């Protein structure tokens, strides 16, 4: 590692640690400070010796009373959050210098490097331009919050990052340095004095407001900044300047629309979120227009604009005042609708085109009279915001589980005396659905909504479709069907929208997420495209969502990855043959076992031709904060997406060799069997999960509006993917990311022929390279010794001890297999930054793990103890910060 390059990071970590220590001394006293420092030193010494001395750490933690345990947990948790601030700021520092962060998994090639590579490969400029013009990157912000940090603390952490940035100024005076450090201590004191734990579970509307806040505080500035950076890079490469309105980036959201397994998301909630989004959009554009009013005081204007305003010394302000008044009316109307008050009179903006036309009139005039430099200022930024966010702020997706649609149609057919739709086979369902889709008569009358068959769940599905009907198409995105298994699941949603009178139907997107569903995705979509009515409906394009979370939970990391690749490959070929543009929607999470990976790696590891200038990706939980919470980082990541999409489109990976495919299938078969042998077939697994990990305690943490389980009770199959991953991450076993995969690699490496083949795959096949790199990252975070601490404190059950031994042996074997494959003695030898990051955190996470196990044991003996419960929640949040991801 370049010592000079990363010295500022170490200096920031040291500085923040010193200031936290000063706050501890001042607020909690020397005794607590000494206790924390003694524990930290013991952990550092233990790690430096290569073996954690459990007895020594236990000896220090064991005698502490409950209140002291809470304060110790808070201290270690705070440091880990401060270390994250320093790391994030260091990335910003290097981004500003256009420097690579060697080995950093969050750093990809920027647009400059991609354009240089395209030139080197002989891609003509016109081909680049033809690809860039329709390029579409849509990022879908989802609630699922694995985000455990309170918004009030996030704000303080962002302010600390701003101060670190100020300290980087080369012309900083001694007085300014002193003032910045004083302010930093004040913020750390403020954070220390703030409750870390969110005490009330957020509602879906709260989650949506959190998403709006990310736009207001960061993305509103980041989008025009990213576009200016992209424009500069294109100019540097000698490419034409794109039009002012060109923005290849869009945002959508599931917050307030994702009702799959979340009874708290209702039609009423969805309607309120849509109105709130328009309210926020009107407010943000109003701020932009106020700034433009202050700036556009010039009198020279085009005849077109003067024909609109009449003689005026400040014609631009005449137009902008009218725009301002209409935005105020729009905001008041949205506010009244949200609050259930009478809607005020007046002409607001109901479509984005109305506002766009006004701004483009000003833009044309400025350019015609020689004031293009002014048009390229804040007006251009506002035009780009409008083309990115529209007047609806973002497009809201709706997601619902397929059986809910079946139940609604079953109620309708029984009401009509046609029998039970749910009892029909696929052919009968399709025949009914197609007949009704082509029919002009209404299927049901108003009396149906008063019938007993139209119960709560059925009514909710139909009310959601009514909300879709009453809202304009600009604010709505995709209607995603989870657990889609057959053509009727897609046709059913099309019919339900027709029943509700939707004039501009939402596009219907099947989500294939289990191993079987992914394997059958090609057949399902083939059957749909064989239907003339359907083929005609999707002639302009089809979107298909690929699920990462549930597929990995169902089949393990490797099995899911190959199924996802194979499904995308089949779908790409199918839609290419039918001449229908395909957009693949990737339902990725933050953790590796849920599809999380660096942008470029993720896109270039897809099958060739599957990106084709269009990508849609979910951004979940804390990933939103890490990637988009600060304008400079957000702008960088947006540019990364554009660059990676362009590269994957014009320089896609080659087709995998037949031998690689056969080997991959063999690896997958071994991996899935090994994974399911434990997760499905070992009777001790559920007991281990609920006893040794904090899986049951996670329900106490107010993470999000959605229940942790799809239904009460049950085993692993009822647990959602996020808490499933979260629980294993907390004890550093990281089981979902490696179980089965290590066994598959072991089996291959035991054969001389297969060893040569898998090494070739790791060197030459981007898909398999990505698998190996991500496996290495997650195994570097795993620590079987930590998992053993939890077992030792929390269970004496022989079957759980037996399973724990087995899992740790398999983890060690997986690490060994990876060493054999890569020929590297240590994990992350080629990733020094991540190695340093893990090493600096271990002395702070080790005590938190021990504390967590102790607190779990005490709480299970004394349920309902507020101090213990608070301390446990702090350890969960602290470990999540230390691991840099949760679910």
Distance of CA 610 to the CA centre of its chain: 21
Nearest residue to 879 via CA among 84, 39, 71, 65: 84
The Cα–Cα gap between 103 and 268 comes to 47
Q: Which of 90, 209, 429, 553 is catalytic?
A: 553
Torsion sign, CA atoms 501, 507, 513, 514: positive
CA dist., res. 291 & res. 220, Å (int): 14
Our answer to whether residue 89 is catalytic in this structure is no
Taking the CA atoms of residue 736, residue 739, residue 744 and residue 749 in that order, the dihedral angle to the nearest 10 degrees is 110
User: Rounded to whole angstroms, how far apart are CA atoms 172 and 118?
Assistant: 41
Task: Please report which residue ranges of 49-150 form alpha helices under DSSP H.
Answer: 54-61, 66-96, 111-120, 125-132
Decide if 586 is catalytic: no
Are the CB atoms for 494 and 437 separated by under 8 Å?
yes
Residue bearing tokens 């990933």: 623
Closest listed residue to residue 561, CA positions, set 571, 573, 575, 547: 547
Q: How far apart are CA 7 and CA 177, in angstroms?
A: 18
Report the C-alpha gap between 859 and 793 in whole angstroms.
13
Residues 6+ apart with CB under 8 A from 460: 259, 266, 267
639 touches 110 (CB < 8 A): yes
Pair of tokens at residue 209: 């407001």
Check: CB of residue 146 under 8 Å from CB of residue 703. yes
Catalytic residue among 144, 380, 586, 849: 144
The pair of three-digit structure tokens given for residue 693, joined into one six-digit string: 């990990």
d(CA 222, CA 778) in angstroms, rounded, equals 30
DSSP string, 122-137: T--HHHHHHHHTT-EE
Give the integer Cα–Cα distance in Å for 47 and 677. Answer: 34
Q: In 3-state terms, what secondary structure has residue 431?
A: helix
Active site positions, annotated: 144, 553
């Amino acid at each position: 590692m370049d010592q000079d390059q990363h010295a500022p990071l170490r200096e920031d970590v040291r500085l923040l640690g010193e200031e936290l220590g000063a706050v501890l001394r001042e607020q909690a006293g020397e005794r607590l400070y000494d206790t924390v420092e003694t524990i930290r030193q013991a952990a550092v010494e233990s790690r430096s010796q290569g073996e954690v001395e459990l007895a020594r750490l236990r000896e220090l933690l064991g005698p502490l009373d409950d209140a002291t345990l809470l304060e110790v947990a808070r201290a270690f948790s705070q440091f880990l959050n401060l270390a994250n601030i320093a790391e994030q700021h260091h990335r910003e520092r290097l981004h500003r210098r256009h420097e690579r962060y060697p080995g950093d998994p969050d750093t990809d090639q920027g647009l400059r490097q991609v354009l240089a590579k395209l030139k080197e490969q002989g891609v003509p400029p016109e081909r680049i331009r033809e690809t860039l013009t329709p390029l579409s990157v849509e990022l879908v912000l989802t609630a699922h919050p694995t985000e455990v940090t309170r918004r009030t603390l996030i704000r303080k952490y962002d302010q600390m990052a701003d101060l670190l940035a100020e300290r980087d100024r080369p012309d900083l005076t001694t007085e300014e340095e002193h003032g910045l450090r004083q302010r930093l201590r004040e913020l750390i004191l403020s954070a220390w004095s703030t409750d870390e734990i969110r005490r009330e579970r957020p509602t879906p509307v709260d989650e949506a407001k959190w998403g709006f806040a990310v736009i207001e505080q960061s993305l509103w500035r980041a989008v025009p900044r990213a576009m200016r950076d992209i424009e500069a890079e294109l100019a540097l490469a000698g490419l034409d300047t794109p039009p002012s309105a060109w923005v290849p980036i869009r945002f959508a959201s599931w917050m307030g629309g994702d009702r799959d397994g979340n009874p708290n998301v209702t039609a009423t909630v969805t309607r309120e979120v849509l109105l709130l989004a328009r309210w926020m959009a009107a407010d943000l554009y109003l701020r932009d227009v106020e700034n433009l009013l202050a700036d556009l005081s010039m009198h020279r204007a085009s005849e077109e604009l003067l024909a609109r305003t009449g003689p005026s010394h400040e014609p631009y302000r005449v137009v902008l005042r009218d725009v301002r008044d209409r935005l105020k009316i729009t905001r008041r109307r949205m506010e009244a609708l949200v609050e259930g008050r009478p809607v005020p009179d007046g002409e607001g903006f109901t479509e984005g085109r109305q506002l766009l036309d006004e701004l483009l009139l000003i833009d044309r005039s400025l350019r015609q009279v020689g004031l293009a430099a002014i048009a390229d200022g804040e007006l251009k930024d506002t035009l780009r915001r409008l083309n990115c966010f529209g007047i609806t702020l973002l497009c809201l997706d709706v997601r619902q589980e397929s059986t809910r649609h079946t139940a609604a149609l079953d109620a309708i057919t029984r009401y009509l005396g046609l029998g039970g739709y749910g009892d029909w086979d696929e052919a009968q369902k399709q025949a009914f659905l197609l007949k009704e889709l082509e029919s002009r008569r209404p299927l049901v009358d108003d009396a149906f909504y008063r019938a007993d068959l139209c119960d709560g769940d059925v009514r909710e599905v139909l009310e959601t479709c009514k909300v879709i009907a009453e809202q304009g198409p600009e604010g709505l995105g995709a209607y995603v069907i989870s657990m889609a298994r057959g053509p009727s699941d897609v046709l059913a949603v099309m019919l339900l929208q027709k029943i509700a009178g939707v004039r501009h139907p939402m596009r219907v997107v099947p989500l294939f997420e289990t191993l079987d569903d992914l394997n059958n995705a090609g057949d399902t979509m083939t059957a749909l495209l064989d239907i003339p009515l359907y083929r005609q409906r999707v002639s302009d394009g089809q979107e298909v969502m690929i699920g990462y979370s549930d597929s990995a939970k169902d089949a393990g990391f490797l099995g899911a990855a190959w199924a996802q690749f194979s499904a995308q490959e089949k779908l790409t070929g199918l839609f290419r043959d039918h001449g229908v543009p395909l957009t693949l929607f990737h339902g990725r999470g933050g953790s590796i076992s849920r599809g999380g990976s660096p942008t470029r790696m993720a896109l270039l590891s897809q099958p060739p031709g599957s990106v084709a200038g269009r990508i849609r990706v979910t951004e979940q939980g804390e990933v939103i904060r890490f990637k988009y919470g600060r304008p400079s980082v957000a702008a960088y990541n947006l540019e990364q997406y554009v660059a990676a999409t362009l590269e994957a489109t014009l320089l896609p990976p080659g087709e995998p060799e037949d031998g690689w495919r056969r080997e991959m299938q063999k690896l997958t078969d071994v991996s899935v069997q090994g994974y399911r042998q434990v997760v499905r077939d070992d009777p001790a697994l559920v007991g281990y999960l609920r006893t040794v990990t904090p899986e049951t305690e996670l329900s106490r943490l107010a993470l999000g509006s959605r229940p942790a389980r799809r239904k009460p009770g049950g085993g692993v199959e009822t647990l959602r993917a996020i808490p499933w991953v979260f629980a294993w991450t907390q004890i550093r076993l990281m089981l979902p990311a490696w179980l089965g995969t290590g066994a598959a690699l072991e089996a291959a490496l035991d054969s001389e022929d297969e060893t040569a083949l898998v090494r070739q795959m790791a060197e030459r096949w981007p898909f398999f390279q990505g698998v190996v790199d991500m496996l290495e990252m997650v195994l570097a975070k795993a620590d079987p010794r930590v998992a053993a601490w939890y077992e030792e404190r929390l269970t004496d059950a022989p079957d759980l001890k037996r399973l724990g031994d087995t899992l740790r042996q398999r983890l060690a074997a997986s690490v060994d297999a990876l060493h054999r494959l890569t020929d590297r003695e240590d994990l992350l030898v080629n990733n020094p930054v991540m190695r340093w990051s893990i090493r600096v955190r271990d002395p702070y996470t080790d005590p938190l793990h021990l504390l967590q196990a102790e607190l779990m044991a005490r709480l299970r003996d004394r349920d309902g103890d507020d101090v213990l419960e608070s301390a446990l929640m702090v350890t969960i949040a602290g470990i999540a910060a230390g691991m840099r991801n949760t679910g």
